[in-house]
Structure 1
């Protein structure tokens, strides 16, 4: 076997407990490293496919599981940087590498010799005496090859490969265009009158953003959610709110070279063609084939029922906001740039507290500690920070994760603050996933190296980073994903950690959010950044009482986005004008004019900056049905840290990855499958009939 003929630091990770040596990797190292790693992987695939021995699980499936280690390492470092700390060099390479990787995997997926070996095992799977996990791994490989076109005639295989390659390039361009619009727009404020209504923490974040972008002085409103949302919430300058809001929702739709509408049109056409080639009615049917929901009908069944409840609730909320506007002497309707501002005023009036009152009690350091404390109480793991290690950006922090006996179980990296080189949003990913196989270098199993990326406003030097309640939930959410990776206890890499169906992957993250506001956690960690005093009980009670406040608004924002996603991917004809389809869906929903989609089509990165959540944005709500019911298991025994329930949760949800069927995993934890009742209660929406038309 050939050796890796590029910078060895990209594949031989000899840092702290096997961490990558980020300081030994340069941007220009990636292009030759990809070429070398792809060549190695191709040689490994040729060896597996050309094996003269009869196919066995070991010489075919296990061999595939451990093949391509160098490519996995190079890829994880590159895509990690492309998302969290990019630059012109990385972006140019991203546009080149995305289609190249697609070509590479299409070639593997249509390798006739290799598929013949996998198919032979699949056809006699009942006679192979496989464990449940091995059955799942074999199924994943077989279905993956079928969906890669292994059963298609050669001309259709070539067309499918071309489609996948083009889609990869389109996805990379889509994400870069959104980031370009976010970096390219800002609103500089220098006059005191422009800052009316803004609390100190918002002004400090805006001042820091000005410095980060080289402005030196003044205050910048940017399109980072951690700045734009508080600006829209607190600014009393309606004209500036409107200006900022319109820039925010226009990302990806500004004409010129960064406009994403044409990319969406081409993406949808290619996805529809791909589905037809593979024998599916539409792209949604293809994507849902291996999920809990299984069919578009089941997805739309849940979303449709929730929509009606959410819209009714939102209109009630809108009427209350209109009353405040009128009371203040305004004569305008509630517009989208008004909603957050007047909702905050309504919250102050209804519950006698404001977001700015909460902020001093939500220090990022304490919320990180809280997320670790919950993990220790539930799962017996402990986080220990390690300083002065080489990382990909100075803001990144490294933690060792130990079990109850002190054994090292994982490494966790936290990258919490917004910067112009980072794409928006928050996510979890891994540099290395847990498994127990012996690699070709003799290493037995691998330690998970997991990271979280967030976009919280960075404070000025020497100042504490203060979060909103939504920010704190985001931190818990992403750490829930991280736990899914770090607690993984499976044999095979392909089913490790978050290697589960799309509408199950959000369960561990959304479930984890519940523990943020468990009183004993909030009371311990929600302490004033100056005095150290805990949040007064009266304020804590108000926060808990207000958890369903503005639920109509947030549910309409989300559900409209999910319904548009499903509409795009169930279209029976070519989508010539994506924005017309979006407008048609929203009109049919009778979307309130005062609210917009959480993610309008031209910046809907979940769906179009790659394939991750295409026909899958619904999965957040599908998982929410599960997470609300799952937390109810703790509520029913009257203890949010009940050890028996926590052990069942760890053993059946957080540690099994995709090694068993998700419905079986959930039933093993809960004893039953859920209905939407607990989710609707959590959102403050009225109880409705059980979900019909699906298995969710």
Structure 2
């Protein structure tokens, strides 16, 4: 019965937080069935109206529709990403084609498209407010882009392609999670992990105990190719085992092998693009992003690849020189890079980043770093709500209030890794803000920090500190966007703009008053020494040849796969050879500098929302670096600056062209020079 399903009755919890304690896996599919039917009925009610389309009887009704489906979907997909038990994975597999079919039934509805197109054709005569006008423009553009203008036969084929792709991307993610867990490396002896901190050893011992391997140590894999432990492990064989396991994920010829899966994804995406009138999937995707075309993306990537590869070669020579001076020299390999990079950093900058962890205790970083920066900049405050629970015991819930004390929304933090959580870090929304619906936002940040044994502090690496600030930048975007229509809520912006706010938020990591507040030794409370801070600043461009090259390599692989025509994608392709050829084409085929993601575990593009869009990070970083310059020129961490950034960029959500919003904030278009300087890529 409906009343027995907590997903189908209004939650009584604050802000519309789902009652996760009452929700069980068996509730999801029946709730989706009800939500699909309700949404279909709402769309039918719009298209059955005999009067001519108006903004009120078409656009407003369209924005009011689908609330139940949105609520159920966000509740479920939050869990399926972060706590994907076998039962949840099975539900997701069943759901994937159903969701795709339902989405197509709306986006490809001829009667609905006619009403939207009619409004779009007379847009200048409707007297609409800017957000209303942009809503018509975006719905028309998105429905056209989805194929609403195709004939019935083409729509039928398109629907088949979309459903199959939804199943394949779900399979890719499931295979990757399973193989990542299977490939976690078991170490018999603590000596094999020499170089790890006490907390890291504790986490490895706990991971082993969780698998019934008492007395042993298990190192779980991160989503990206490298691993934080590679920089400190003294045992070269241990480093090799970790990197080899990482690079072999979902390509070992077992049941979790993703090679056939990803090739079918590429083929079907290329066929769909051709059906929609585009030369490739990359052309299809970028046509509705700020980049506009694959050519614009390729131009930027090529411009950066040459100096990045050159700088990486210089860095490689410096590492080899250190190895050559050792009693038993050897040729540098990929699993050695991070370890010897720290030796060079120590020699050139007298800096050991791996020794910084005692200054980055997670709770202090959160409260006195991430939250404090947001309070200083925007005036918002955070109160932990111990009376509210999330979808997993590790999830913490915070209420966020505006400077005037008014409620803003909820922020959920899920910090620790577990076998049921997909790799990487991300932000998502559970509830979207909308004046039309009278809702306030609930946003989630997920990370994958190893959880130490009970009673041990969680000490973060500098990279993990950066990730926490980065993901919170997405959370701020989701919390601050203040729009009327849910279509524009939160981070619903162009994919190659969405990383911009999160990257900007990273700037506060080293801002003096913020760093001094959170970077305190876990035992003594002493601040991070000023000379160390100076060395960190001086070494900002250090190893950027490697970092930029590994990122650009992944971006180029993404573009290479998705720039194939339907005919090219139909061929049987050797994945390893294809990657090697693509990297050679752009000069990033250095085996000592592996790509950040190889195809079989490139979740961003084969199971996430970044297909033909992984370039977005560097594309957004052009805006980010330019924005950091603006903050520095205008007094930095001030409420006035924060208010301007909030009102003109974060607060508009997707209700305005993002580059127009940027020009409104900055006073001009972004310039690339700050990015080149940051990454050491100047001519």
Cα distance in 1 for residues equivalent to 2:441 and 2:536: 36
Cα distance in 2 for residues equivalent to 1:106 and 1:112: 11
Q: Is the 8 A contact 1:526 1:535 kept in 2?
A: yes
In structure 2, the partner of 1:664 is: 660
TM-score (norm 1): 0.95
In structure 1, the partner of 2:53 is: 55
Matched, 1:574 2:568: yes
Matched, 1:323 2:317: no
Deviations 1:282-307 (A, max 9, x none): 11111111211111111111111111
Cα distance in 2 for residues equivalent to 1:549 and 1:202: 25
Equivalence map 1:302-451=2 (5 Å):
302-369=300-367, 370-438=369-437, 445-451=438-444
Equivalence map 1:136-151=2 (5 Å):
136-151=134-149
Q: Is the 8 A contact 1:9 1:24 kept in 2?
A: no
Deviations 1:73-129 (A, max 9, x none): 111111111100011111111111011100111112222211111111111111111
In structure 2, the partner of 1:187 is: 185
Cα distance in 1 for residues equivalent to 2:294 and 2:494: 15
Residue 356 (structure 1) shift: 2.8
Q: Is the 8 A contact 1:11 1:74 kept in 2?
A: no
Q: Is the 8 A contact 1:202 1:230 kept in 2?
A: no
Matched pairs, number: 677
Over 3 Å counting, the alpha-carbon distance change for 1:192 and 1:214 in structure 2 is: closer
Over 3 Å counting, the alpha-carbon distance change for 1:607 and 1:225 in structure 2 is: closer
Over 3 Å counting, the alpha-carbon distance change for 1:247 and 1:387 in structure 2 is: same
Equivalence map 1:221-260=2 (5 Å):
221-224=219-222, 229-260=227-258
In structure 1, the partner of 2:622 is: 625
In structure 1, the partner of 2:287 is: 289
Cα distance in 1 for residues equivalent to 2:643 and 2:14: 30
Pairwise CA RMSD = 1.6
Residue 5 (structure 1) shift: 6.9
Q: Of the candidates 266, 269, 293, which is equivalent to residue 268 of structure 1?
A: 266
Cα distance in 2 for residues equivalent to 1:147 and 1:6: 40
Q: Any idea what SS the aligned residue of 1:622 has?
A: helix
Over 3 Å counting, the alpha-carbon distance change for 1:330 and 1:588 in structure 2 is: farther
In structure 2, the partner of 1:484 is: 477
Q: Of the candidates 527, 531, 534, which is equivalent to residue 541 of structure 1?
A: 534
Q: Is the 8 A contact 1:226 1:456 kept in 2?
A: no
Cα distance in 2 for residues equivalent to 1:226 and 1:167: 24
Residue 193 (structure 1) shift: 2.9
Cα distance in 2 for residues equivalent to 1:217 and 1:27: 35
Cα distance in 1 for residues equivalent to 2:116 and 2:398: 40
In structure 1, the partner of 2:461 is: 468
In structure 1, the partner of 2:196 is: 198
Q: Any idea what SS the aligned residue of 1:503 has?
A: coil
Equivalence map 1:111-130=2 (5 Å):
111-130=109-128
Residue 185 (structure 1) shift: 1.7
Bigger CA drift: 318-327 or 328-337?
328-337
In structure 2, the partner of 1:692 is: none
TM-score (norm 2): 0.97
Cα distance in 2 for residues equivalent to 1:371 and 1:496: 23
In structure 2, the partner of 1:650 is: 646
Over 3 Å counting, the alpha-carbon distance change for 1:479 and 1:20 in structure 2 is: same
Q: Is the 8 A contact 1:436 1:446 kept in 2?
A: yes
Matched, 1:512 2:505: yes
Q: Is the 8 A contact 2:342 2:352 kept in 1?
A: yes
Cα distance in 1 for residues equivalent to 2:409 and 2:564: 44
Over 3 Å counting, the alpha-carbon distance change for 1:647 and 1:388 in structure 2 is: closer
Q: Is the 8 A contact 2:190 2:217 kept in 1?
A: no
Residue 192 (structure 1) shift: 3.7
Q: Of the candidates 211, 214, 233, which is equivalent to residue 213 of structure 1?
A: 211
Residue 225 (structure 1) shift: 5.7
Matched, 1:299 2:297: yes
Matched, 1:589 2:586: yes
In structure 2, the partner of 1:442 is: none
In structure 2, the partner of 1:441 is: none
In structure 2, the partner of 1:693 is: none
Q: Any idea what SS the aligned residue of 1:614 has?
A: coil
Q: Is the 8 A contact 2:483 2:652 kept in 1?
A: yes
Cα distance in 2 for residues equivalent to 1:446 and 1:192: 52
Q: Any idea what SS the aligned residue of 1:252 has?
A: coil
Deviations 1:423-470 (A, max 9, x none): 0000000001111004xxxxxx10100010100111211111110111
Matched, 1:42 2:40: yes
Over 3 Å counting, the alpha-carbon distance change for 1:225 and 1:50 in structure 2 is: closer
Over 3 Å counting, the alpha-carbon distance change for 1:467 and 1:274 in structure 2 is: same
Q: Of the candidates 666, 670, 674, which is equivalent to residue 674 of structure 1?
A: 670
Q: Any idea what SS the aligned residue of 1:502 has?
A: coil
Q: Is the 8 A contact 1:628 1:682 kept in 2?
A: yes
Q: Of the candidates 519, 540, 543, which is equivalent to residue 550 of structure 1?
A: 543
In structure 2, the partner of 1:691 is: none
Residue 672 (structure 1) shift: 0.9
Residue 227 (structure 1) shift: 12
Q: Is the 8 A contact 2:225 2:595 kept in 1?
A: no
Q: Is the 8 A contact 2:225 2:247 kept in 1?
A: no
Bigger CA drift: 426-435 or 560-569?
560-569
Bigger CA drift: 134-143 or 554-563?
134-143
Q: Is the 8 A contact 2:15 2:442 kept in 1?
A: no
In structure 1, the partner of 2:10 is: 12
Cα distance in 2 for residues equivalent to 1:453 and 1:319: 37
Cα distance in 2 for residues equivalent to 1:393 and 1:226: 24
Over 3 Å counting, the alpha-carbon distance change for 1:226 and 1:500 in structure 2 is: closer
Residue 10 (structure 1) shift: 5.0
Bigger CA drift: 147-156 or 428-437?
147-156
Q: Is the 8 A contact 2:379 2:639 kept in 1?
A: no
Residue 353 (structure 1) shift: 2.4
Deviations 1:640-695 (A, max 9, x none): 213433222111111101111111100001011122110111122224xxxxxxxx
Matched, 1:641 2:634: no
Cα distance in 2 for residues equivalent to 1:581 and 1:80: 34
Q: Is the 8 A contact 2:488 2:654 kept in 1?
A: yes
